[in-house]
Amino acid sequence: MIVNMSEKATEPEIAHVIERIREAGYQPHVTRGVSRTIVAAVGNGRRHEIEALLVAPGVENVVAIAQPFKLVSRQVKPERTVVNVGGVAIGGAGVVVIAGPCSVESREQLLSTAHAVKKAGATMLRGGAYKPRTSPYDFQGLGLEALKILREAREQTGLPVVTEVMSTEDVDIICEHVDMLQVGARNMQNFALLRRLATVNKPVLLKRGPSATVKEWLLAAEYLLSGGNSQVVLCERGIKTFETEMRNTFDLAAVALARDLSHLPVMADPSHGTGKQSLIAAVSRAAVAVGADGLIIEVHPCPERALSDGAQSLDFAGFEKVMKAIAEPLRKAAVSVQQETNLAKV
Ligand code: PEP
Ligand code: MN
């Protein structure tokens, strides 16, 4: 349930509503917008007691939250969320480009990639330390050694770093080394991991599971928000369909839909979304056109020798070309977000 406070509601009136929501057995979540405050009642409580708040002072109306995801929905928070990752704003004006190798393979490999992607215009660095691999015989990542290399790359380039976390056991050590934690597609519904990440003071990049509906994806995000971490960025990375020409089917419309249903920023991963170097530029442009707040792109000094995901990784020259191909859409997106923000303020 949502209690919409009137524009003139006073602080004691808001505090009273919060108190009554608690008494009714719900968790109160307050969103303070530009002109009004919304208090959401989340959880399982006595609904009629919330409905009765319609006559409480300062209350404009009481409505049900239409979607199963609550705190993630735009109904609870109409204004877009901006997530700050080590000084880079995701979800504000402009489109953030995160680039780097699928896996950190060596110090030399990561540092050279970090400098190259920065030069080409990337604003964040990626690199896997703990890798979810389909086969146990494939390269599993360098673990702690990779985290140290990622940290060094950030010190050298100033680029904030994101890396994947697969297990609750690794959360603390990863938090010590990087700026953002990625929940990979395979772990989107690892509820123990989501619950743990809800308690950390680091932003989370939540990838959509390969077979997850948009609703399931947003409910996974709800675990993070309801547990206390609202620094969440969604990432569409392709889903499983009958198509076999591409590694996954990049669900372009889901980027737009997720932005419609939720206030959280939404990024696009054209690398895993297609599995093909040759499609990265086109899908990146398309993602920006439908409103993506950022792109995450795999880059490797020599894709042919990559220990994971070589076929979809761009070399340095390829990444520079893609950055040039998306420069105009990125600029236009920044202008239109700015306009949207100005309109919202009018
Ligand atoms: C990755 O980012 O390298 C990765 C494994 O992504 P996903 O979880 O989307 O497959
Ligand atoms: Mn990868």
Q: What's 249's DSSP letter?
A: B
CA-to-CA distance for 69 and 88, rounded, in angstroms?
A: 27
Atom number, ligand 1, closest to the C-alpha of residue 309: 3
Burial class from Cβ neighbours inside 10 Å (0-12, 13-18, 19+) for residue 328 reads exposed
CA 200, 162, 147, 179 torsion-angle sign = negative
How far away, in angstroms, is 132 Cα from ligand 2 center? 9
Give residue 223's identity as a one-letter amino acid code: Y
Beta strands in the chain (DSSP E): 2-5, 27-32, 37-42, 59-63, 83-85, 88-90, 96-100, 124-126, 161-164, 180-183, 204-207, 232-236, 266-268, 294-298
pLDDT in the model for residue 346: 43
pLDDT in the model for residue 169: 98
78 in any annotated domain: no
What is the pTM assigned to this prediction?
A: 0.95
Q: What's 305's DSSP letter?
A: G
Same domain, 112 and 239: yes
Same domain, 140 and 268: yes
Quickly tell me which residue has 């991991």 as its tokens: 193
Same domain, 208 and 323: yes
Which residues, other chains included, contact 40 with Cβ-Cβ below 8 Å and sequence gap of 6+?
1, 2, 3, 28, 29, 30, 31, 65, 70, 71, 76
Other residues' Cβ atoms within 10 Å of the Cβ of residue 245: 8
72 in any annotated domain: no
Q: What is the pLDDT of residues 4-18, one digit of tens each?
A: 999 999 999 999 999
User: Residue 50's domain is classified under what CATH number?
Assistant: 3.30.70.1140
Q: What is the pLDDT of residues 129-182, one digit of tens each?
A: 999 999 999 999 999 999 999 999 999 999 999 999 999 999 999 999 999 999
Take atom 1 of ligand 1 and give the residue whose Cα is closest.
102
User: Residue 105's domain is classified under what CATH number?
Assistant: 3.20.20.70
- Greatest alpha-carbon span in the chain: 68
Q: What is the pLDDT of residues 62-111, one digit of tens each?
A: 999 989 999 999 999 999 999 999 999 999 888 999 999 999 999 999 99
Can you give the residue range of the structural domain that contains 212? 83-345
Ligand 1 and 132: CB distance under 6 A: yes
184 in any annotated domain: yes
pLDDT in the model for residue 343: 57
Ligand 1 and 207: CB distance under 6 A: yes
Q: What domain count does the chain have?
A: 2
How far away, in angstroms, is 327 Cα from ligand 1 center? 25
Same domain, 53 and 97: no
Ligand nearest to C-alpha 187: 1
